[in-house]
Amino acid sequence: MSVLKAAQQRELESLEHRIKEEQRMMDEKIVLELDQKVIDQQSTLEKAGVSGFYITTNPQELTLQMNLLELIRKLQQKESLTSKGFP
């Protein structure tokens, strides 16, 4: 009986290892896809002539670009409200 339990334990450990490895690979894939989306967005905004946007991976520049996007979004939201008659 203990031989069977040992075999089951090894199989369980092997399965857990495989699951962790697959999860790690999936996480890496998602990060790469997100990185590509950021590059695509930077490129699109740069081509559209939006000041401050260019392809970069520098964390400080990325933070600046995110803040610029947030400012643009808030300005657009405010403009949308004022055009509907709200002060």
What's the pLDDT tens digit per position in 40-55? 999 999 999 999 999 9
| The total number of structural domains that make up the chain | 1
- Domain housing 47: 2-83
pLDDT digits (tens, 9 = 90+) for 5-41: 999 999 999 999 999 999 999 999 999 999 999 999 9
What count of Cα atoms within 13 Å lies in the side-chain half-sphere of residue 42?
Answer: 19
pLDDT-derived band of residue 62, with 50, 70 and 90 as boundaries?
very high
Tell me the C-alpha distance between 55 and 57, whole Å.
7
Which residue bears the tokens 């695509």?
40
pLDDT at site 87 = 60
- pLDDT at residue 86 greater than cutoff 90: no
The secondary structure of 21-76 as a DSSP string is: HHHHHHHHHHHHHHHHHHHHHHHHHHHTT-TT------HHHHHHHHHHHHHHHHHH
**CA angle centred on 71, ends 68 and 76, rounded to 5°:** 125
